Amino acid sequence: MSAPTLRIADLGLGFRTWAGPVEVLHGISLHINKGERVALVGESGSGKSVTARIVLGLLQELRSARISGTVEFEGRDLDRLSARERHALRGTRMSMIFQDPTSSLNPVYRIAPQFHEVLKRADPAISEAAARDRAAALLSAVAIPEPERALDSYSFQLSGGMNQRVMIAMALANEPALLIADEPGTALDVTVQAQTLALMRDMVEEHHTSVLFISHNLGVVREFADRVYVIYKGRIVEHATAEGLFADPRHPYTRALLSAVPRITGGGIPEIEDVSEDYYQPLVVHEGCGEPEGVA
């Protein structure tokens, strides 16, 4: 049996800061099998983005960060790879979609040369013409009506929704095994956000891409994810199928989150003000969550 796409075991993270050491992750474990869409959901500052940055191999380069535990990507321990090897994985075997497309599209270049750069990461010899053909096909696949025109545009000439589509097409251009999606669509209006998510779901289903979906938004998680890990202050507190989590939330923190949602608009995650000792209760794992593939 093949290894899971991602397996994180007992991941710890601390930073040295001017005010002294801070511990940010306290032994996180999670896995994503091939083709699974897994959400990491929690309030601001709980440790979602730093987890993603470790998976991408970015925090390993930061001298103030101290990382412990294991991160295996397609069966390979990231710790045993060189910085150059980790760099080579980004944009090829794993890629990232950010909440704001303008942060990953360069306003100074038209879309076509940006696709060329992306495709060159997996195929350094690809010609400009071949890259353009491939990019046009990718843009058609994400339902951009006039791909050739979009390729000759700058990102600021395209609508927010179009830019999201371009970004999804670029992120999937090299057929990554893992897509990390950090709050996709929150910068957009609700209709565009829903379309973007539906498109992303179709694309990853078609290519059996695994997804680590990082979100504040419980409504979106419910729509998109197969399984969910709820994170609270650097600890996973509940692990469930998406269906199980919403039907039967068991950890006090998850319950507080879900009961708070109807009171705010847009399904976003509220800051829970009544912090309770109960939120530090141990991890709750629901039945039916499965094990990482290939692990006895």
Q: Quote the least distance from Cβ 266 to ligand ATP, whole Å.
A: 15
* Nearest-approach distance from CB 72 to ligand ATP, in angstroms: 20
Q: Regarding beta strands 235-241 and 284-285, do their DSSP bridges make them parallel or antiparallel, or are they unpaired? A: parallel
Strands 76-77 and 227-232: unpaired
Q: Does 48 bind ligand ATP (CB under 6 A)?
A: yes
CB of 284 to ligand ATP, least distance (A): 20
Single out the segment in contact with ligand ATP by CB under 6 A; choices: 42-50, 148-156, 278-286, 288-296. Answer: 42-50
The edge-to-edge listing of strands for the beta sheet with 178-182 is 94-97, 178-182, 210-215, 37-41, 227-232, 235-241, 284-285
Contact between 6 and 55 under an 8 Å Cβ cutoff? The reply is yes
CB of 51 to ligand ATP, least distance (A): 7
200 lies in the binding site for ligand ATP (CB under 6 A): no
Judged by CB under 6 A, the residue of 21, 22, 75, 259 near ligand ATP is: 22
Checking DSSP bridges between strand 37-41 and strand 20-32, what pairing results, if any?
Answer: unpaired
Cβ nearer to ligand ATP, comparing 22 with 130:
22
Nearest to 212 by CA among 48, 25, 2: 48
Q: Which two tokens stand for residue 22?
A: 């801070």
Contact string 65-104 vs ligand ATP (x = CB under 6 A):
----------------------------------------
- Amino acid sitting at position 292: P
Q: Which of 28, 32, 42, 240 binds ligand ATP (CB under 6 A)?
A: 42
Instruction: Verify binding: residue 185, ligand ATP, rule CB under 6 A.
Output: no
- CB proximity list for 84: less than 8 A, separation 6 or greater: none
Are the CB atoms for 13 and 76 separated by under 8 Å? no
Residue 104 Cα to chain centre, angstroms: 14
- Give the closest residue to 35 by CA, choosing from 175, 237, 244: 175
Instruction: Show contacts with ligand ATP in window 144-173 (CB under 6 A).
Output: none
Q: Which of 45, 75, 266, 290 binds ligand ATP (CB under 6 A)?
A: 45
Which residues are 113's β-sheet partners? Answer: none
Give the β-pairing of 20-32 and 6-17.
antiparallel
- In the complex with ligand ATP, the residue whose CB is nearer, 11 or 111, is 11
Q: How far is the CB of 27 from ligand ATP (least distance, A)?
A: 15
**Is residue 24 a contact point for ligand ATP (CB under 6 A)?**
yes
Among 47, 147, 184, 252, binds ligand ATP (CB under 6 A): 47
The one among 15, 98, 154, 246 contacting ligand ATP by CB under 6 A: 15
Among 176, 204, 58, 200, which residue's Cα sits nearest to residue 119?
Answer: 176
Q: Which residues bind ligand ATP (CB under 6 A)?
A: 15, 17, 22, 24, 42, 44-50, 216
